[in-house]
Amino acid sequence: MTVNKINWQTDFLAQLQKNNISVETGSISTITFWKIPNKDWQLTAELASQQSIRWVSGWAEQLGLQFIINAMFEKQGRYLLFRTALTDEKLELPSQASVFPGACRSERHSQDMFGIRFIDHPDSRPWLRHKAWQKNQYPLRKDFSLSGQPEPVTPADTDYQFLKARGMGVYEIPVGPIHAGIIEPGHFRFQAVGETVLNLEERLGYVHKGIEKIAEGKTPEQLAHLAGRISGDSTVAHSWAACQAMEQAAAITIPPKAAFLRGILLERERIANHLGDVGAICNDVGFAFAQMQFSRLREQWLRTNATSFGHRLLMNCIVPGGVSNTIYALAKQIMSQDSIRLRKELDEILPALDLNSSLEDRLATTGYLSEQTASLYGTLGYVGRASGQDFDVRRDAPYPPYDQLAFKVTVETQGDVASRMWVRIKEIFASLKLLSQMLEQLPETAIKTAWQVPIEHAEGMGIVEGWRGEIVSYVRFAKNDTIERFYPRDPSVLNWPVLEKIVLNNIVPDFPVCNKSVNGSYSGHDL
C-alpha cells in the first residue's frame, strides 16, 4: 500500500512535467507541497481530476509583498499541497472551481477576504461580504485592522443576485436567514412547481465571526481555545486539528497517553452528535418517540462527559502538546459502564426504527445523492459514506492512536436520508468499540509534552476525522511564538453545496429532513 501511495504522486509529477508544468517541491512535515506557476493553476487541477485525485481544501495568505494561494488534494490517504504566488499588481488566478465544484465557495471566500480574482470562475458573486465592509476593503490583508471600520448600521444586503426560474406555475419560496427554531441563520431560496422543488440556492455567511483574523497574533494556547469555538459541536475535532498543526510546526510529539485521551474525547463527541441527529431526523417526519429516546440517551452521555472531563461538550480538554487533564480508574469504570448501557438501550430501541414502515416510507429514497455527485463535490463524513465514498482519515491517513486500533468504516450506496441515518447509527457502534479498545489500552505516560517555540514562518497541517468528516487546519507561525495565519476547513464547506442537489425533485415538505440528514455547520462553514 505504501508503494502505491508514493507511486501516484510520482506518476502525477511526471504527468505535470509532460505538460510542461514546472514544479518546485517542498514539504510541511509529512505533507509534500509543489509550487506551481500561476498560469498553470487550472491545468494542474484538470490533470488531477483526470487522475481521480480529490480536491480537499483551498485558502490564501499574505506573506510580505506576496499572496500565497494553496490548494490541497488527496488520493489513497496521501495528501499533496499545490501552491502558487501572486503580487498585488495582478491578483488574478485561473479558477479551479470549474474543475472541482467543491472549490467554488473557497475561492469566493479568498475573493472576498483578499481581493483575489479567479478567472473563469463559475460564480463570482460576493459570498461573505454581506455589506459588512466596503468593496475595496479586504479583511484578511495585513493593512486591515481587527476592529475594521464598521458602519453604525450595516446596510441591508438586498442586491444579491439570486438565480431565477420562470415558467407556468413556477413560484419562489424564501426561507430564512432567521428560522423558527434555534438553529443558526442561513437563507434558502427555492423555486418550485406545486410541491416539487426545481431549484434550491443557499446564501450563508450570516455567522461569519472573523475567526481567521482573530487568530492573528494569538499564542498557541489561545489558538487552541479559539479553534474549539469554530463549531461548538466539533470542539474536540477542531481543537485537535489546530493543535496537531501547531505541534508539527513546533516539531514536538505528544505522549502516547495524550493521543489515546484525545481519541476518547473525539469518539465521545462523535457519539453524542450522532445520537442527537438520529432523533432529530426522526422528529422531522413526525416520529416523536425516537426523538425523545435519542435525546434522553444523548443527555445521559453528555452528563458522563461532564463527570469524567469537566465539560458536557468537552471544551478546553485539548491543548498544545497534549490534553489538559487525565482520567483515573473511577472515570474509566464510569465510561465503560456508560458504553455498555448505551449499547443495550440501542439494541432495544433500534427495532422500533427498523420495523417502522411509516418511517421507512418517509426516509427511503428521499433526498437521493448519487455516488457520482458525491464524488464530484468531494463530499465527506456520513454524507459521503452513505453515497459510496469510502474514506475516513482515521483509517486511510491514520494518526495516533488510530494507527494502533482496529475498526470498520461504514459505507453504503443508497444515498438517501435513510442511509445517512443508518450510517450514523453504525458509526455509533464502531465508536463504542473504539472506546473500549482505547480504555483498555490506555498507556501510563505523561499527558503533555513541553512546548517548543517554532521558528518564524514554521508551518503545520492538522488533519482529523471529526464527526462530520475530515477537518483540515493550516497554521503558520510568526516570530515570538504567535500565529501569523490560521485556516480551518470544516467538512461543512464541502457538504453544504450538495444539499442543493439532494432536494431536487423532492417535495418542499421533505426539505427539513433532507437538511437534517446533512446537518452542515453554519458556524464552521462561515468562519
On whether residue 145 sits in a domain, the answer given is no
Given a cut of 50, whether residue 433 has pLDDT beyond it is yes
d(CA 294, CA 296): 5
Same domain, yes or no, for 190 and 299? no
For a pLDDT cut of 70, what percent of the chain falls above it? Answer: 99
d(CA 28, CA 463): 13
pLDDT, mean of residues 491-515: 96
On whether residue 143 sits in a domain, the answer given is no
Same domain, yes or no, for 351 and 378? yes
On whether residue 115 sits in a domain, the answer given is yes
Residue 175 CB burial class (10 angstroms; 0-12, 13-18, ≥19): middle
Same domain, yes or no, for 198 and 215? no
pLDDT, mean of residues 505-525: 96
**Over the stretch 61-73, which tens digit does the pLDDT of each residue have?**
999 889 999 999 9
Q: Residue 163 — very low, low, confident or very high, per pLDDT cuts 50/70/90?
A: confident
Strand bridging mode 78-87 / 66-75: antiparallel
| Average pLDDT, rounded, for the chain | 94
On whether residue 196 sits in a domain, the answer given is yes
**Over the stretch 363-373, which tens digit does the pLDDT of each residue have?**
999 999 999 99
Same domain, yes or no, for 282 and 384? yes
Domain boundary among 119, 154, 184: 119
Same domain, yes or no, for 244 and 334? yes
Same domain, yes or no, for 352 and 500? yes
Given a cut of 90, whether residue 178 has pLDDT beyond it is no
Same domain, yes or no, for 299 and 446? yes
Same domain, yes or no, for 187 and 234? no
pLDDT of residue 3: 40
pLDDT of residue 46: 97
475 beta partners? 460, 486
CB 118 within 8 A of CB 95: yes
Same domain, yes or no, for 246 and 349? yes
Given a cut of 80, whether residue 492 has pLDDT beyond it is yes
CATH code, domain carrying 108: 3.30.460.80
pLDDT, mean of residues 143-172: 85
Q: Which amino acid is at 43?
A: L
Helix (H) or strand (E) holding 289: helix 288-309
On whether residue 154 sits in a domain, the answer given is no
d(CA 101, CA 118): 14
Model pTM greater than 0.85?
Answer: yes
Q: Which amino acid is at 90?
A: K
Same domain, yes or no, for 461 and 434? yes
Domain range enclosing 71: 2-119
CATH code, domain carrying 456: 1.10.645.10
SS (H, E, C) 318-361: EECCEECCCCCHHHHHHHHHHHHHHHHHHHHHHHHHHCCHHHHH
On whether residue 241 sits in a domain, the answer given is yes
pLDDT of residue 308: 95
On whether residue 408 sits in a domain, the answer given is yes
Q: Provide the domain count of the chain.
A: 3
Q: Residue 1 — very low, low, confident or very high, per pLDDT cuts 50/70/90?
A: very low
The three three-digit cell numbers of residue 28, written as one number: 510541511
Same domain, yes or no, for 519 and 375? yes
CA dihedral 229, 500, 369, 171 (to 10 degrees): 140
Cβ-based neighbours of 425, under 8 Å, separated by 6 or more: 274, 278, 346, 350
Q: Which amino acid is at 161?
A: Q
pLDDT, mean of residues 485-499: 98
Given a cut of 50, whether residue 273 has pLDDT beyond it is yes
The three three-digit cell numbers of residue 427, written as one number: 458509526
On whether residue 133 sits in a domain, the answer given is no
pLDDT, mean of residues 401-410: 95
Given a cut of 60, whether residue 2 has pLDDT beyond it is no
Given a cut of 50, whether residue 495 has pLDDT beyond it is yes
Q: Residue 5 — very low, low, confident or very high, per pLDDT cuts 50/70/90?
A: low
pLDDT of residue 6: 58
pLDDT of residue 30: 87
For a pLDDT cut of 90, what percent of the chain falls above it? Answer: 88
pLDDT of residue 54: 97
Same domain, yes or no, for 296 and 431? yes
Given a cut of 90, whether residue 136 has pLDDT beyond it is no
CA dihedral 445, 450, 455, 456 (to 10 degrees): 110
The three three-digit cell numbers of residue 286, written as one number: 413526525
